[in-house]
Homo-oligomer: A and B are copies of this chain.
Amino acid sequence: MVNIVEKVIKEVEPLEDAVLIEGLPGIGHVGRIVAEHIIHEFNGEKVLELYCDDFPPQVLVNEDGTVEFMNNSIYIIKEPIPIIVVTGNTQALTPMGQYQTSKRLTELGIKYGAKVVYTIGGFGIGNLKENPAVYVAATSKELANKIKGHGAVFRGDGGGILGAAGLMLTFSKLNGIDGACIMGETPGYLIDPKSAGRVLEVLSKILGIEINMDEIEKRAKEMEMFLEKIKSFEKSQEQKQAMPRDDDLRYIG
């Protein structure tokens, strides 16, 4: 049994018929980018911090001399539709901690009014794709098909969904509500705003709301420019190696 401490930041009434969106750190940080973008675009308000003794036993150091605590947070959004967002800077370290934080976060989300849960994750494929796909897997055939209708596809790999993105679906079902995991294809070795953008496009259709994508697109472009630079640098290195070097020429003639 892990110990969970909940610090209420603001007392609020439960939302009506709300959607819960989970985006914690994971592959490509797709979930966390999506969650933070939604909080930013719709002025999410932090209502609760959750601390767990199975989080990494540390604090992080900021440049201004302050420390950042390891925790998960719950934000609420009222407009354009009621949304509860779960995000944070970490996930629990052991299976038991992952189960118990996922259980508690789902229960808290339901307490705040959630009637459906969308968990967001990255689906690591090991390489960069021009058009990353968006996958879905849900607790019911109906919800899976509905989200497929909005541009997501089914995974045929028979694999799993690890951590909160998977387990919050288990606890949604055990608490009587449906849930789906929406996964953006991502290399896995870099933080991927482009993949997050694709997930946000699908999410926008599912929720029936417009989501301003300027910030995400800007970050995605910065990432692509950075990758372009690396590629052209690598290319120039290859050309150098293909050409004879001065000190090679000495031995020719």
Chain A residues engaging chain B, CB cutoff 8 angstroms:
1-3, 5, 7, 51, 53-67, 69-70, 93-100, 102-103, 136-141, 144-145, 148, 154-163, 166-167, 169-170, 173-174, 181
Contact = CB atoms under 8 A, between A and B. Distances in A.
Copies in the complex: 4
A242 B103 CA distance: 61
Contact of A66 (B5, B58, B137, B166): B137
A156 B58 contact: no
Contacts of A148: 65
B5 A162 contact: no
Nearest to A135: B61
Contact of A65 (B56, B138, B160, B161): B138
Given A57-B167, A64-B144, 8 more contacts: A57-B95, A58-B160, A58-B161, A59-B170, A60-B159, A66-B137, A66-B144, A67-B138
13 contacts: A1-B3, A3-B96, A7-B174, A54-B95, A56-B95, A57-B98, A59-B169, A63-B158, A65-B141, A66-B140, A66-B144, A94-B95, A96-B97
A145 B5 CA distance: 29
A170 B59 CA distance: 7
A137 B7 contact: no
Contact of A139 (B66, B100, B139): B66
Contacts of A144: 64-66
Given A69-B170, A139-B67, A3 B62 contact: no
A22 B90 CA distance: 26
